Chains A and B, each alone.
Chain A
Amino acid sequence: MSRKGLSMQRKRRFAALMGLVVALGVFATSSPSPAAAGASLLEVDDLVQLSVAGEDELRVVIPDSADLATVDIVDRRTAEVIGSAQPGGEIDVPTVMGTAVIDLVEQGGAAPRLLARASASISQTGSNLPSAAVVVTEQSTFLAWASVPSVGEWRILDGANDVLATTQSNAVTLPFTLSSVPNQIQLVGDGNIDEVLTRLVRGFAVEQHEDSGVGTASTDPATLTTTMLKYETYIPDEYADAIDTGLGIDCESGDGSDYSYGGDNRGLEYDTLKYRTLATTHHHWEEKTSSIQSFVNPTDRYIHHDDGSYEYESSRTADVGGVKVSTGPNNGFDSSGTIDHSVGNPYCSDWNTIDYDQGHTLWATGSYIVRGKHDRMPRHQVYLKYRGTDFPPLELVFHHELTDPKCLNPVYAQVYCPQWEYEYTK
């Protein structure tokens, strides 16, 4: 059995034993059902209504009241026109993995006019993420999502994790700004916010660049020659204490009090060598090739003296086999990748591995779906590097803050910090 298999089996067994704790009601949620067909996702007055047409199909309706000529629905991933509608008309848009990213372009004037950009995701079986949609117009950003039981509050954050809005309803409208683009909808549990933060996340990266933003229809879709996805886990501090759960599943020192471990001593950075693990998929669109890499940095152990100083003691490196990266076929237009990650501190029990699973689909037009779940320790950062015309060289997909080293412990995590589920589409 593989190391991960063994680790996961132990985790599940122990988790079952500890299920009683959960059953006592310390924390409980129920998953939302997949969205029912016909359920409305979002309605922007006099412009567009988005709703779920089927299990994996989005319906776009141009209201009767809209003062518009013919509206083209353009798939931003393929840059192809899916269909056209006049006020009162509707078009069903196929989704990829339950997601769609479209432009609404009005025809009939001197030049095509980009009315809005929309992104929608339909809740998938097995996911806790509710169906949601965002529409960006020249003036505003409209966001809406399906209700979820036990929600205390929703937060809307930008890419820097700054809170743009909080709400207890299921929709919000924000003014358009270039400096703070809504990027995440986070659900805050109805318990203690400090203890149980942002369990569910739906993210949107909405392109709102000045030179290609809302209001101007792009006739020549930008294309890339290379896209590289990098997923880093890192410890922001210079030193980190050992995991000390009190459940007997911690580090070699027994109670974790003797040693500290070297962290990465960094914040949000790119292309640094300071990480615990790094997994990459690299896609060359012209050559229709994709490649993978995985990296694990050594873990340095230090004696933490009473005077506060740290003395280097030894170093070990975890097995890079705990990072399994794969890519799907690259047809020069889209490609995909998966990362299955279970790597821990090599001085500690493999109960306490950093676990995450992630899948991504990337397009040569710059669109993407990035979704997965991860332990809430340490920090998780995913970014894309682009090479192509009219593209920024780099785009942060997410940078998720850590909660607590104890969240690596599956039992503790189940109670206090369940895995962070996310999806980002563009």
Chain B
Amino acid sequence: MSRIHGTFARVAGAALVSSLLVAMPASPGGAADARFNAGLWDDDLDTRWQAHVMSAAASQVGYEAFEDLDGRTSDGSFKDGRGSAVFGMFTHASSGLMKTQWQSGQPDQWIYSGCPDCTHPSMRMLSEYRPLLDVDDVRLAIFAGCYTSLVPSWGYSLPEVAAARGMDSTIAFPGLVYSPVSTSERPMSETRYSGNYFWERAATYLKNGAAVADAMKWATSDLLAKEGDAGGWDEYQIDGSIASPGQMTLTPERGGRLGTSDLLWDANLATDEDWVDWAVAFAEDRVDFANALIDILLENTPTAAGLVAGPGGSEYLVVGTAEQVTYRFDENGRLVDLSSSPTAQGDPTYSVAEAAEIATQFAMEHAAGFDQTWPRSDRVLHHIEGENLARFTWRPRTHGIPVGRTVLIEVDLRTGDIGHYIDAQARSSSAPAALEGVVTEGQAIKTAREAAGAGGELVSADLEHWVQTRWLVTLDYTEPTVVDVPASGGGTVQEKVEIPRFVQVEIDALTGDVQALSGT
């Protein structure tokens, strides 16, 4: 079978992306550095896999990648950021600060964002980086922790300082984000869920040439399909000093200094004839994709296509179109998700109610079996500064409990276009036959407290079905923490900082066994 290969080009805004693929910053070894810090934290929050997979991905596309999985001194973290092209911290956090290290009997170490005229001899702040000098070569900075995109009462947010100092693209989170809760004896291989799985998937896509915004969308889609819940990671916010930080890629140009990788597109397609030729050749080996190949041509103008590694060893067909929409289909030809680039400027022209109608109509056309009477939750959010999106999430119910499917649609309130569509289905989506015999809510809460420890305040206890019928019990162990933070004009001030510590316990509703613990 002959496959059409072409040079890498992002369908939407190809010229722009090309301009972003600037020469990599030089380092002594000839390639750029990538540094990732994580740990098994004092409350057993285990973010190590996140840094490990990102480091491996960066290394495989040519960066000199290092990961510190046992925390890092604040000095060390600060230096890591200064010397890197890709920098990631996966840790406990709050607005304006991220924990870099904890040691029993020692004060925790932090990296701070900064504040007006902040100076302190021992505190490390992003604002200490010299503008457009120290971190101007940072292509991507990841602040993977709770509330990292928020502005603290005492200073600036992490992303705004990072952008002001020259970091091209940053990823941060406005709410709680969950990661596995592990123990020192537990192998990381058993913590490939929740946030660890999110970053494992994001690393796969970034390694294969996806833009940051696409990688976040697709990792959200994968985590949602695996677990039925995106653990707060779906609310990622992308910022940065360049015009389109969401279009930043980890990979260099094909044949660039950092070496080549499996880039996203196998084919660039100038005409419908090109598409037909490519699709015919492609379908020879992958008949299951045939319907998707036909549908995409009937409704769109495909301009690029390729295969990406889906979750669980599967393959997804990814198609970019002239309409600047990217589609992904699974091996059964089902549309898994769709994404486009929403607008970032202008007044909204659609109300949330109108957007809901658009989303509902879209779901009815594309999500087989969709029923608009499914319970729906709504919210307004943005992923990139300036976006104005309405998100609608449906989950069907059986016997009164949510069951294994989630349809998520984000609508651009300016244009009415679909910004993101996910049809997530559990691996085994059969609904429970009945709810007889499931453990009671009281039993589930008792089990959760035993697993997570005493003292937590009950937040919620939800019975639902995703692969199996389960209780999700969430407990809040957050205690206000007094932290020395930098003060405007110099010195420090003590602030009562909320470092969120929620624990969610997943319990098999039939056996009462604890399946997993995740926390913030």
Q: Which residue numbers of A lie inside 8 Å of B, CB to CB?
A: 226, 228, 270-273, 282, 284, 286-287, 289, 291-293, 295-298, 317-321, 385-394
A228 contacts which of B66, B75, B79 (Cβ < 8 Å)?
Answer: B66
Per the bound structure, the CA–CA distance linking A289 and B79 in Å amounts to: 14
- A273-B52, A392-B29 known; A296-B66 Cβ under 8 A: no
Tell me the number of A-to-B contacts counted with CB atoms below 8 Å: 67
Per the bound structure, the CA–CA distance linking A228 and B76 in Å amounts to: 15
A270 contacts which of B48, B59, B79 (Cβ < 8 Å)?
Answer: B59
Question: Interface 1/0s, chain B 294-330, versus A by CB < 8 A?
Answer: 0000000000000000000000000000000000000
With an 8 A cutoff between CB atoms, is B28 at the interface? yes
Per the bound structure, the CA–CA distance linking A287 and B64 in Å amounts to: 20
Contact B60 A317 (CB under 8 A): no
Contact B190 A317 (CB under 8 A): yes
With an 8 A cutoff between CB atoms, is B185 at the interface? yes
Contact B28 A391 (CB under 8 A): yes
B56 contacts which of A272, A388, A389 (Cβ < 8 Å)?
Answer: A272
Chain B residue numbers with a CB within 8 Å of A321 are: 185
Contact B189 A226 (CB under 8 A): no
Contact B55 A271 (CB under 8 A): yes
A-B contact pairs, 6 of them (CB 8 A): A273-B56, A291-B70, A292-B70, A297-B189, A393-B31, A393-B64
Question: Interface 1/0s, chain B 59-70, versus A by CB < 8 A?
Answer: 110001110111
Chain A residue numbers with a CB within 8 Å of B56 are: 271-273
Contact B75 A287 (CB under 8 A): yes
Per the bound structure, the CA–CA distance linking A292 and B71 in Å amounts to: 11
**Which 4 residue pairs across A and B have the least CB separation, nearest first?**
A271-B59, A291-B70, A393-B29, A320-B187
With an 8 A cutoff between CB atoms, is B253 at the interface? no
Per the bound structure, the CA–CA distance linking A389 and B68 in Å amounts to: 20
Per the bound structure, the CA–CA distance linking A286 and B83 in Å amounts to: 14
Per the bound structure, the CA–CA distance linking A386 and B75 in Å amounts to: 19
- A273-B53, A273-B56, A391-B29 known; A320-B65 Cβ under 8 A: no
Contact A296 B28 (CB under 8 A): no
Smallest distance from the beta carbon of A229 to chain B beta carbons, Å?
12
Chain A residue numbers with a CB within 8 Å of B76 are: 284, 287, 289
Chain A residue numbers with a CB within 8 Å of B68 are: 282, 291
Per the bound structure, the CA–CA distance linking A388 and B83 in Å amounts to: 11
- A271-B59, A293-B69, A295-B52 known; A387-B33 Cβ under 8 A: yes
A293 contacts which of B31, B48, B189, B190 (Cβ < 8 Å)?
Answer: B48
Per the bound structure, the CA–CA distance linking A272 and B185 in Å amounts to: 23
Per the bound structure, the CA–CA distance linking A271 and B56 in Å amounts to: 5
Smallest Cβ-Cβ distance to B192: which chain A residue = A298
Chain B residue numbers with a CB within 8 Å of A388 are: 28
Per the bound structure, the CA–CA distance linking A393 and B62 in Å amounts to: 11
Chain B residue numbers with a CB within 8 Å of A298 are: 189
Contact B28 A390 (CB under 8 A): yes
Chain B residue numbers with a CB within 8 Å of A271 are: 55-56, 59-60, 65
Smallest Cβ-Cβ distance to B60: which chain A residue = A271
Contact B186 A320 (CB under 8 A): yes
Smallest Cβ-Cβ distance to B30: which chain A residue = A393
With an 8 A cutoff between CB atoms, is B447 at the interface? no
Per the bound structure, the CA–CA distance linking A392 and B60 in Å amounts to: 16
Contact B33 A272 (CB under 8 A): no
Smallest distance from the beta carbon of B166 to chain A beta carbons, Å?
22
Smallest distance from the beta carbon of B515 to chain A beta carbons, Å?
15
Smallest distance from the beta carbon of B436 to chain A beta carbons, Å?
29
Contact A226 B60 (CB under 8 A): no
Contact A291 B189 (CB under 8 A): no
Chain A residue numbers with a CB within 8 Å of B188 are: 295, 320
With an 8 A cutoff between CB atoms, is B393 at the interface? no
